[in-house]
Amino acid sequence: MRKILFVTTQYRVGERIYPIIPRLSLEYDLDLMTLYQMKPDWEWPGDNDLRESFNKKYLKYFNNIYDNIDIDYSEYELILTDDNRTYNGLSEIYDKSKCLVLACSHGNHDIRYDIQNVNISFDGCFVFGQKDVETDYQIPGGIPSNDALKNYNVEKEYILVIVNYLGHYGDISTGTGKYFKLMDKELFDNIDFLRLQKKYDKLIVFKLKIRPDTDIQKEINYLTENLPDELDFKVLLDVGDDNMMIAKSSLVISSASTLALKAIQLKIPTLIIKDIGIDGVFKDYSGMVESNKQDIKKFIEFGVDVDDFIARTVQGGLEFNSTKYFTDYIRRCVYE
């Protein structure tokens, strides 16, 4: 069997493609390279080390496991990396490679790493959908981890709020000359969580994004101090099954996060607050609104149609078969 090296650097970047691993193992001998946050000696910053979830599900599919870039690359037919940036050894791997290197989208972003870093950290890059394709080295692969969403027929338990930066952060640059709008008390008041809780009769769940420098207690304190005292809410940190987290939602209020694409694919009403995240693939999503009370209330009352957006944005998103697009392209690269 031909050999592929699978390189993973960050769980929250790589988790979108991990479900292709069992399928690949049927056709290829797989080796694994763990770098940066996926290395065994990285100190996990959250409450649930998601590397353990990866190891339990996927290590059995790999023959050899490396945690540094100093290996013999000559035996591989293809290298697949979970990120398309130049950090964490990825550009060095490209320099050392003896075969085609395919990268994957870092996530929802306005910085076009998929264009900037060709011939620097990859030869070709998987992007989410057709609307991102401008060159022949950009490959619409969808989001393989979202394929399983079709199997999640579960009871709706809460309203989910996907947070980027809370109000205590101050000025945080987007990297594009702008600053993120913070999820602060003014926005909380405009969303009017008490009204939503009464309307849906559901718990409010805040999903925090845990970064290496996140002060978890400070995040929780900010929410406690700036949300209504009467609000029934809870906080989630690291979640082992993002699909289940999304599927249990009656309504999703989010920054422009790739997690929100899961909710949109499931046709869960999904409100994206403009400028809390980077617009990226959501630029043409009609459910992205300004942070004022009027626009938010209008979406809550009427919602939006999403089929055309999904078709443009996530390859295989309507049929939940992104994995097929991904693995078919890899097969062509290896054998043609």
Q: Which residues contact 237 (CB under 8 A, 6 or more apart)?
A: 46, 47, 48, 208, 210, 216
pLDDT at position 221 over 90:
yes
Residue 53, pLDDT score: 93
Residue 278, pLDDT score: 85
How many residues appear in the chain? 336
**Fold of the 2-143+320-335 domain:** Rossmann fold (3.40.50)
Give the predicted TM-score (pTM) of the model: 0.92
Per CATH, the homologous superfamily of domain 149-313 is: Glycogen Phosphorylase B; (3.40.50.2000)
pLDDT at position 177 over 80:
no
Residue 335, pLDDT score: 87
Q: Which residues contact 322 (CB under 8 A, 6 or more apart)?
A: 141, 142, 143, 144, 146, 147, 314, 315, 316
Average pLDDT on 255-267 reads 95
pLDDT tens for each residue of 222-243: 999 999 999 999 999 989 899 9
Name the nearest CA neighbour of 329 among 149, 96, 127: 127
- Distance from C-alpha of 36 to C-alpha of 41, rounded to nearest angstrom: 9
Residue 219, pLDDT score: 92
Share of the chain above pLDDT 90, in %: 85
Rounded mean pLDDT of the chain?
A: 94
* Residues 133 and 283: beta-carbon distance below 8 Å: no
- Distance from C-alpha of 39 to C-alpha of 31, rounded to nearest angstrom: 15
Instruction: Identify any residues that bridge with 78 across adjacent strands, giving them in sequence order.
Output: 4, 100
pLDDT tens for each residue of 268-327: 999 999 988 888 899 999 999 999 999 999 999 888 999 999 999 999 999 999 999 999
What is the C-alpha R_g of the chain? Answer: 20
- Distance from C-alpha of 226 to C-alpha of 189, rounded to nearest angstrom: 9
Residue 107, pLDDT score: 85
pLDDT at position 93 over 90:
yes
Q: How far is CA 178 from the centre of its chain?
A: 22
Same fold, 2-143+320-335 and 149-313: yes
Tell which wins on pLDDT, 167 or 74: 74
Instruction: Identify any residues that bridge with 235 across adjacent strands, giving them in sequence order.
Output: 206
Average pLDDT on 98-115 reads 90
Name the nearest CA neighbour of 261 among 176, 144, 182: 144
Residue 298, pLDDT score: 94
pLDDT tens for each residue of 273-289: 998 888 889 999 999 99
- Distance from C-alpha of 291 to C-alpha of 272, rounded to nearest angstrom: 9
pLDDT tens for each residue of 244-259: 999 999 999 999 999 9
What does the angle CA 274 – CA 275 – CA 276 come to, to the nearest 5 degrees?
95
Torsion angle in degrees (nearest 10) through CA of 147, 148, 152, 156: -60
Neighbours of 110 (CB within 10 A): 14
What are the structural domain ranges in the chain?
A: 2-143+320-335, 149-313
Per-residue confidence band for 146, with pLDDT thresholds at 50, 70 and 90:
very high
Residue 138, pLDDT score: 96
Per-residue confidence band for 66, with pLDDT thresholds at 50, 70 and 90:
very high
Residue 261, pLDDT score: 97
What is the SS3 assignment for 106? Answer: coil
Please name the residue that has the structure tokens 């009352």: 301
pLDDT at position 110 over 80:
no
In this structure, what token pair is assigned to residue 37?
């946050």
What is the SS3 assignment for 296? Answer: helix
pLDDT tens for each residue of 32-52: 999 999 999 999 988 889 999
